[in-house]
Structure 1
Amino acid sequence: MKKISITKLSIAGLFAAILLIQSCKVGQKYVQPELNVPESYRGDTLTYFGDTTSISKTTWKQFFHDPTLKTLIDSALAHNFDMKTALLNIEIANKELRRNKLDYLPQVDMVIAGANRQWRSKDFGSAPSSKWYEHKGSKAPESMFSYLSQYGTEVGFNWEIDIWGKISNAKDQLLADYLNTQEAKNAVQTQVVASVAKGYFNLLMLDAKIEVAKRNVLLNDSTLQMIKLQYEAGEITSLAIQQTESQRLIAASLVPELERQIVIQENALRVLSGMMPDEIQRGTSFEHLFAENKDISLGAPLEIVRNRPDIRSAEFDLIAANAHANIQQAMRYPALTLGGSLGVNAMLPKNWFNIPGALLGGITGELTAPIFKSKTLKTKWEIAKIEREKTELAFQQTVVEAVSEVSDAVITVEKLREQLDFARLRVENSAKAVRNANLLFKSGYATYLEVITAQGNALDSDLALVELRQSHLESYVDLYRSLGGGWR
């Protein structure tokens, strides 16, 4: 490092130079890169919603209608461990940001009490001070004579002037990190809201499946009794009873399996809420789980850049990377540092605080510049620029994936609705087939196999309808989350 000492006569000129070069902030100012988002989403044919307010701007309390579900979400947001961790990360980042403001001020240190006593011998190449003779009045020793004695107390400061914007760029970086923790919390919240909603929908659908299974068991019981009567009359063989019983056991075995899944899902929801396993209360119906509002829409793709926490987080990463590159560039330029000290210093303890005899003071100024660092500073700057480019690519990739995710969600909502229409028709047709098969069997125009087949198809169609209904509900949650909804 090359150092230039600043004398007292140049202090005034030094401060004038400080004022002149304060505007010399180096580096690239952050500008949002071109994202090239489309004007509308592919598959934006969602007729359920209107053309005004975007779904993403709807709060989760407005989006969901079921009061039991809203209570579950509210509890999860208050007690979820990931949410609590995210809030602590925000607090940490806030403290770092507030501390950065002090970097503009001098660093001050104080030596409360310092003592320095040194002894030397003749091979040191020196001799005792003449003061020794005055006090001792005899020949000075050749070994272990007192060479230096100091006792002092002082306050010193060191102040690096932010010429090239290192401190201000560090502030930009810390601010981006702080805002990033806010977005991380928002991302956790959207995930918690979506996970609780999906878990709740799954519970409702599992309840519905159990009802289907139990209803089918009762239907099989009725059929089995009818077949037993015909067996006793000698009209059919025992094979009919066995196959009918097998069909009944298929439906009956679903009940304990579904009960197992219910307990596991309830436990998972309790974990999301930061609580121990227990039952989960739910509403009486899975209908009207969403607040039907014809005055909301998907909005424009550009809106998700402002709404989705993961996109905003990726942009804050880019802002921080840009500031870091600026800092590394500034490290290659000269640094201006002011320093000074004020205190007392004496050779003897008794004169330690002898005022003004023991007073000391000084002020220094250094303009230091790196000359040869084995390309370390340049390499760090070049790497920081490359890292910035990587972060920009990650930002653009996040936007592209988000737009694609919304498009996927829109198509899924539409196609599942079409499947639901077919599934309802299938259930109606299966129910008619069961009724007709029973009537024909009683009249002798159908075999027991046709009855069993009709009942099996009815069970499958009922379960398929329940699963499709659940998938359709979850698709709305995915659409809401992909548009950036859930953190408000």
Structure 2
Amino acid sequence: MQKHSLIAVAVAFLAAGCTMAPKYERPAAPVTNTFPTGGVYETQPGAAQPGGAGARSANGQAAADIGWRDFFVDPRMQRLIDIALKNNRDLRVSVLNMQASQAQFRIVGAGLFPTLDAAASQSKSRTPKNLSVFGNTISNSYSVGLNASWEIDFFGRIQSLKDQALAQYLSTAQARKAAEIALVSQVANQYLTVLELDDLLNVTQGTLKTAQESYRITKLQFDNGTGSELDLRQAETVVEQAGANLQSQERLRAQAENALVLLLGEPLPADLPPGLTLSDQNLLTDIPAGLPSDLLTRRPDIMEAEENLLAANANIGAARAAFFPKVSLTGSFGTLSPTLGGLFKPGSAAWSFAPSITLPIFEGGENKANLDLANIQKNVQIATYEKAIQTAFREVADALAARGTYDQQIQSLERNTFAQQRRLDLSNLRYTNGVDSYLSVLTAQTDLYSSQQSLITARMERLQNLVTLYQALGGGWIEHSGDQPRPADAPVDYGAASAPKAASAATAG
């Protein structure tokens, strides 16, 4: 009795999940311990933002702890992000991939348990009369019973496959999280692009109106014989160039809105709340970068890469277990009778028990090749994981370098635009008094237009860089600061998504 108990304990222990997978050790991060400092990284945002809005402070909160509704304060942008999170098709695909991996994990995990089936059968056969013992040539057989089978996972093959499936499931969950964070950033950046084009259109329309008025006056002077054809053609050049720019910007504006609609997953609703202008966008400028090691637990793309590495590590355990015997237990219990009515009579009980063991002896090197493949795949995932860390480090460092330079760049462009406007005023005055030619006016007008465009673009790029930094540091997963972060595999109900509404022209900006 004691001997049988020890055997039962041993079987239970071996079947509990011991694997032959190598012990996992997280690879060292192939980056420095701190982000770059000095130079362009030294100058960070001060107490005032370019554009006149008072700066808001992150108060030392990490990006991952700041809700996207607290980072983006534009009501229209917030509404657009909310719509995209409910309707974006790429995000839906990432959620469905996660759900598929979860189902695959359950499928693999079921292999650790016995299977039990109910079965009923009837068979009829004919035996030649000269071979029949009792003279009957037709025989019938009826059976009803339960069939059971179980592969005892002595060497952890099935457990390793389950661990691999679990890691793959968690990897798709992190991929879903990364897709959602990226979507928040993409919608914000596309919305800022629309606002930039709105400002560029306003500047171009103003420049075109001024150029048309200058052309009208120059043509009157030419018709009256007091102006030259050179002045006329120079004025015409400015008009046509501004007109061409206007058409180009209107095209880009329409295409930018189309891209925004694609991100939203539905047409722009007509009831969007009023939004802020580009210069009034008040994003958080002082989010702390922290340490590169923080990215390991804040960046879902890095965690996704690590889960893939864990899956590859578990697969080595399954490949190693293939060299060892497979032990299976099969059995059945039920009733057997030559007549249907005799199935449940006394004495009709029947059972069978058939343990089996399969030991690989020669398979042409297949198991060895599978083990080599598993080790190579793990090395690939190690390199992929290290590359994910390096990419994250580079994205944060780039954004910090940009954050340290955009403010001063915009201040210089603002001073340049003011100087160009003053230069145009003086050129007009000198031309009116006959001191200078009309060429100086046109040159000043063109330079002012170029300076205004550069200033608008720099303001947009500065804001987009702040959005990129927020994403690169892991921000965008929670909606409000202080919210408990959802698990990466939190369920999503897309049945509650809003139905598409009628599109409205020029509603994005």
* TM-score using structure 2 length: 0.83
1:330 maps onto 2:324 in alignment:
no
Q: Give the Cα–Cα distance (whole angstroms) in 2 for the partners of residues 228 and 339 of structure 1.
A: 101
User: Does 2:143 align with 1:131?
Assistant: no
Is 1:358 equivalent to 2:348 in the alignment? yes
**Conserved in 1, the CA contact under 8 Å of 2:278 and 2:459?**
no
Residue 232 (structure 2) aligns with: 241
Aligned to 1:162: 153
1:223-242 aligned at under 5 Å gives the runs 223-228=214-219, 230-231=221-222, 234-242=225-233
**Alpha-carbon deviations, 1:294-343, whole Å to 9, x = none?**
5x311111111111121111001001111111111112212222222111
Matching residue of 1:187 = 178
Residue 200 of structure 1 and its aligned partner are, at CA, apart by: 0.7
Specify the alignment match of 2:63 in structure 1. 55
Instruction: Kindly provide the amino acid, as one letter, of the partner of residue 130 in structure 1.
Output: V
**Among the aligned pairs, what percent are the same residue?**
27
Matched, 1:45 2:42: yes
Out of 414, 434, 450, the position equivalent to 1:460 is 450
Structure 1 residues 353 and 12: CA distance shift in structure 2, 3 A: farther
Could you say what secondary structure the match of 1:457 adopts? Answer: helix
State which drifts further: 15-24 or 332-341: 15-24
What is the one-letter code of the residue matched to 2:177? N
Match of 1:211 among 185, 202, 224: 202
Aligned ranges 1:420-459 → 2 under 5 Å: 420-459=410-449
Q: Of 122, 125, 131, which aligns to 1:118?
A: 125
- Is the 8 Å Cα contact of residues 46 and 410 (structure 1) preserved in structure 2? no
- Evaluate the alpha carbon distance shift between residue 149 and residue 17 of structure 1 in structure 2; reply closer, same or farther with a 3 A threshold: farther
Which range moves more in the overlay, 234-243 or 12-21?
Answer: 12-21
1:280, CA displacement in angstroms?
A: 9.6
SS in 2 for 1:34: coil
CA-to-partner distance for each residue in 1:320-370, whole Å, 9 max, x for gaps?
A: 111111111112212222222111122x23554142232101223233322
Q: Is the 8 A contact 1:152 1:352 kept in 2?
A: no
In the alignment, is the contact (CA less than 8 A) between 2:66 and 2:475 conserved in 1?
yes
Q: 2: CA distance between counterparts of 1:174 and 1:350?
A: 46
Amino acid at match of 2:68: W
1:211-256 superposed Cα distances (whole Å, 9 cap, x missing partner): 1111112322343344345445643223322321221222133223
The equivalent position to 1:301 in structure 2, one of 275, 286, 292, is 292
SS at match of 1:297: coil
| C-alpha spacing 1:449/1:362, structure 2 compared with 1 (3 Å) | same
Q: Is the 8 A contact 2:143 2:335 kept in 1?
A: yes
Deviation string for 1:358-386 (max 9, x for gaps)?
A: 21012232333222222212221221112
Unaligned residue ranges in structure 1 (runs of 5+): 1-9, 137-144
* Structure 1 CA distance for aligned equivalents of residues 344 and 32 of structure 2: 79
Question: Any idea what SS the aligned residue of 2:347 has?
Answer: coil
Do 1:266 and 1:279's aligned partners in 2 also have CA atoms closer than 8 Å?
no
Residue 92 of structure 2 is aligned with which of 84, 98, 105? 84
4+ residue runs of structure 1 moved beyond 4 angstroms? 10-14, 277-282
Check the 8 A contact 1:83/1:189 in 2, yes or no.
yes
Q: Describe the superposition over 1:275-296 as per-residue Cα deviations: whole angstroms up to 9, x where unpaired.
A: 14777956241134234465x3
Conserved? CA contact 1:55–1:299, under 8 Å: no
Q: Corresponding residue for 2:81? A: 73
Q: Does the aligned pair in 2 maintain the 1:161–1:335 contact within 8 Å? A: yes
Q: What is the match of residue 7 of structure 1? A: none
Structure 1 residues 129 and 225: CA distance shift in structure 2, 3 A? closer
Tell me, in whole angstroms, the C-alpha distance in 2 between the residues paired with 1:460 and 1:280: 35
Task: Give the CA deviation at 1:191.
Answer: 2.0
Name the CA distance, whole Å, in 2 between partners of 1:400 and 1:33: 13
Q: Secondary structure at the match of 1:131?
A: coil
SS of 1:332's partner is coil
Shift of 1:14: 4.9
Q: Aligned residues, how many?
A: 462
Partner of 1:404, secondary structure, is helix
Distance 1:293 1:89 in 2: 35
Contact 2:181 2:471 in 1 (8 A): yes
Could you say what secondary structure the match of 1:65 adopts?
A: coil
TM-score with structure 1 setting the length: 0.87
Larger Cα-atom Rg: 1
CA contact (8 A) 1:267 1:278 kept: no
* CA distance in structure 1 between the partners assigned to 2:284 and 2:383 by the alignment: 39
